[in-house]
Amino acid sequence: MTGKSPRLRSRDRGQCDLGHNRTLTSGLQKTIVAMEVDVNVRNRVEAALMNTFRHPPALRSFRGRRNPSSCGVPFAILWVAMGAAPLLAVDSFEQPPISYSDSRPANAIEELNDRLGSGAARLVFDHSLGYLRSVLDLLQVPISSQTLVFSKTSLQQRHISPRNPRAIYFNDEVYVGFVRGGDVLELSVADPQLGTVFYTLDQAIRERPTFVRQTNDCLICHGGSQTRGVPGHIVRSVYADRSGQPIFSAGSHRVDDTTPLADRWGGWYVSGRHGDATHLGNVTYRKRPEEGDERDTTGLNQSDVSPRFDSSGYLTPHSDLVALSVLAHQTAAHTILAKASFEARMAIYREAALNRELGEPADHRWPSTNTILDSAATSLIDCFLFSGAPALPAPIEGTTTFADEFVKRGPADGQGRSLRSLDLKNRLFRHPCSFLIYSKSFDSLPEEVRRRFWEKMKAVLQGKDTSGKYAHLFPAERSAICDILVATKPEAARDLAPP
């Protein structure tokens, strides 16, 4: 330690001393007092946390780590950014009511761990793939979902290169990362209460193989501003050099529904057809392309990616374009779901403490809480209805059975319409409303967030909200989405019913 006080990364940092505002008009006195009490309550929480710095799960420190660049960021850059001082960070999600690291997860991987422990399930080891195929089978993750990333931007970056990409497989909840020759399988899962939870599984023969939860190392990259301040995923498009190392001076693109195809998939392999549209995948770079530069078009419209590396150690020679597109939506939506859940629960928790301090009724609602709850619901609506998503510049097509398998996994209404139906001509989904509306993460949101969500959804789908961010939804599309939701989700049938 340098003798400096550890720095807390918290929404409470930098709160102003409100004492000088006591001269404000009497009509504001109660508000000012409430704000002061709120700050005092939070400060006492911070003080308690400062006294628990010896508790490892609540802390993330770069000090003493053997491989500080394991998330793909050179240690030298981190060291300069931190002013050559070890960083201790206590995030809001490590405090009650979330208590991320201290809380026991409840998700598909934990359920599989329990089955493995009881002998109800068994992982089978393969000498070329380790436990990969068995894990995918037990977690019901389709092989057709395989996507391949060759940039050095993950835990096992020393093994990753254009000749040895990292494979990612996923279903609606679980993500599985495999590196040929790697030490572990990397897994993450959407946990209804904790957002994204991370695990590893040793790629060595074990009598009782077990998924081990990871916090500190993963949260360095997956628990900060890049993931909206909550444990989440990062899908980035980078300009990777011939070794797979991102060219940091060239910048990068966050990939979600709002990212144009032309900016996607740098550092990834892409198999699929996309007409005269372009993307950044399948090639390496010496620098960021400038306007007017001759572009390398050899990576476009590839039927498979096996000519670019030895794919014999992978389950397929594909990195399906449709799977990549669904991955971009799903990872962003999972993170926004987690953020909405965390912020709503923390706001309600703080409000309860404030009401106790001020002697207010337990159900007293503060305007700041309403603002946070409304914001959480709005962010979900915008994400789920693909607000800001550009039209596809050309029709796209994958190279595996992923699209067909994906569509079959979801519920449909009496006319066979489903939120999983793919368009692939002008946009990704035929009915642009996220299929994650059926997820456990959505159903586990605080009731007050879901109520506001359905109120806002009803206003959009019934044409009462005609704001520009929903202009892409024509009346017939709004009606179809409403009909599908009413037919396939009981909560929607209740809340979207006409007056």
Domain membership of residue 9 (yes or no) is no
Q: Is the same domain home to 250 and 305?
A: yes
Phi, psi torsion values for 239, nearest 5 degrees: -100, 95
Choose between 165 and 223: higher pLDDT. Answer: 165
Domain membership of residue 330 (yes or no) is no
In order of 71, 90, 96, the CA distances from 99 in angstroms are 23, 11, 5
Percent of the chain clearing pLDDT 70 (strictly above):
81
- The model's pLDDT over 37-60, given as tens digits with 9 standing for 90+, comes to 444 444 444 433 333 333 344 444
Q: Is the same domain home to 347 and 306?
A: no
Q: Which conformational region is residue 331 in: left (phi greater than 0), alpha (psi within -120 to 50 degrees), or beta? A: alpha
- The model's pLDDT over 384-429, given as tens digits with 9 standing for 90+, comes to 999 999 999 999 999 999 999 999 998 999 999 999 999 999 999 9
Choose between 191 and 16: higher pLDDT. Answer: 191
CA distance 10 to 17: 17
CA distance 376 to 296: 42
Q: Is the same domain home to 40 and 81?
A: yes
The closest alpha carbon to 113, from 98, 123, 103, 124, belongs to 123
- The model's pLDDT over 113-141, given as tens digits with 9 standing for 90+, comes to 999 999 999 999 999 999 999 999 999 99
| Predicted TM-score (pTM) of this structure | 0.83
Contact between 428 and 422 (Cβ < 8 Å)? yes
Contact between 187 and 211 (Cβ < 8 Å)? yes
Show the tokens assigned to 185. 């399988």
Domain membership of residue 353 (yes or no) is yes
- The model's pLDDT over 321-363, given as tens digits with 9 standing for 90+, comes to 999 999 999 999 999 999 999 999 999 999 999 999 999 999 9
Q: Is the same domain home to 406 and 352?
A: yes
Q: What is the pLDDT of residue 120?
A: 97
Q: Is the same domain home to 450 and 485?
A: yes
* Tokens 């929607």 found at: 492
Choose between 163 and 497: higher pLDDT. Answer: 163
Q: What is the pLDDT of residue 224?
A: 75
Q: Is the same domain home to 170 and 289?
A: yes
- Tally the C-alpha atoms within 13 A of residue 384's C-alpha that lie toward its C-beta: 26
| Among candidate residues 33, 64, 90, the one where a domain is terminated | 90
Q: Is the same domain home to 72 and 114?
A: no
Domain membership of residue 99 (yes or no) is no
CA distance 167 to 178: 5
Q: What is the pLDDT of residue 146?
A: 98
Looking at the predicted structure, is the pLDDT value of residue 228 above 70?
A: yes
Show the tokens assigned to 33. 């007092």
Q: Is the same domain home to 40 and 115?
A: no
Question: What confidence tier does 225 reach under pLDDT thresholds 50, 70, 90?
Answer: confident
Domain membership of residue 213 (yes or no) is yes
Q: Is the same domain home to 188 and 220?
A: yes
* Tokens 């960083």 found at: 87
Looking at the predicted structure, is the pLDDT value of residue 15 above 70?
A: no
| Among candidate residues 27, 55, 90, the one where a domain is terminated | 90
The closest alpha carbon to 455, from 488, 497, 495, 498, belongs to 495
Looking at the predicted structure, is the pLDDT value of residue 234 above 70?
A: yes
Exposed e or buried b for every residue in 389-409, given b needs 16+ CB within 10 A? beebbeebebbbebbeebeee
The domain of 46 spans 19-90
Average pLDDT over residues 466-476: 93
Domain membership of residue 161 (yes or no) is yes
Question: What confidence tier does 499 reach under pLDDT thresholds 50, 70, 90?
Answer: low
Domain membership of residue 403 (yes or no) is yes
Q: Is the same domain home to 206 and 233?
A: yes
Q: What is the pLDDT of residue 404?
A: 97
Q: What is the pLDDT of residue 155?
A: 81
Domain membership of residue 297 (yes or no) is yes
Q: Which conformational region is residue 388 in: left (phi greater than 0), alpha (psi within -120 to 50 degrees), or beta? A: left
DSSP assignment, residue 169?
Answer: E
Q: Is the same domain home to 305 and 348?
A: no
Q: Is the same domain home to 162 and 306?
A: yes
- The model's pLDDT over 250-266, given as tens digits with 9 standing for 90+, comes to 999 999 999 999 999 99
Tally of domains within the chain: 3
Q: What is the pLDDT of residue 153?
A: 87
- The model's pLDDT over 139-174, given as tens digits with 9 standing for 90+, comes to 999 999 999 999 998 888 999 999 999 999 999 999
CA distance 193 to 190: 9
| Among candidate residues 296, 313, 330, the one where a domain is terminated | 313
